[in-house]
Amino acid sequence: MYTGIKHLHSGLAYLLLAALIVSIVYAFASRKKPFTAGSKKIALIGLIFAHLQFVAGLALYFLSPLGASNFSGDAMKEKVSRLYIVEHPLMMLLAIVLITIGYSRIKRLGSDSRKYDSIIIFYGIGLLFILSVIPWKVWP
């Protein structure tokens, strides 16, 4: 179970990063064009991978020896274990909340260019948060 979810989480990370980059580049390139159902679908792919990755990460947090079971004062003092216990989960949660807000705003915003801006800004900041807490020493 642990190994399977760990591989899923590791693999979904590629798909999520790719989907976020495609969403942002597409929104940036389309800013002056109408916002269509297709534009929304591209952003939806990023949202779905973000939500899936969150569920996989949450499961991993309770299955992995690096997650909740490693919680202690000593682990907090050590950079790598603190990354897995606190920084990685919290920043990733924040990133996914931002991505979800960016997607939800599409329904409410009036003008097409502001819909694209919502994706560029919220997905963009979300992507930066994600990149800041990926454990680069062990991934890819």
Residues of the shown chain interacting with ligand HEM in the complex, contacts defined by CB under 6 A: 6, 9-10, 13, 16, 44, 47-48, 50-55, 57-58, 60-61, 64, 66-67, 84, 88-89, 92-93, 95-96, 100, 104, 130, 134-135, 138-139
When the beta carbons of 8 and 113 are compared against ligand HEM, the nearer one is 8
When the beta carbons of 41 and 77 are compared against ligand HEM, the nearer one is 41
Is 135:84 a contact under the CB 8 Å cutoff? Answer: yes
For residue 33, the minimal CB distance to ligand HEM (Å) is 21
Per-residue b/e over 18-49, b at no fewer than 16 CB within 10 Å?
Answer: ebbeebbebbeebeeeebeeebeebbebbbeb
For residue 105, the minimal CB distance to ligand HEM (Å) is 9
For residue 76, the minimal CB distance to ligand HEM (Å) is 15
Give CA angle at 138 (133, 140), nearest 5°.
85
134 φ, ψ to 5°?
-70, 135
When the beta carbons of 32 and 124 are compared against ligand HEM, the nearer one is 124
For residue 48, the minimal CB distance to ligand HEM (Å) is 5
Residues 47 and 99: their CA atoms lie apart, in Å, by 7
Is 135:92 a contact under the CB 8 Å cutoff? Answer: no
When the beta carbons of 32 and 90 are compared against ligand HEM, the nearer one is 90
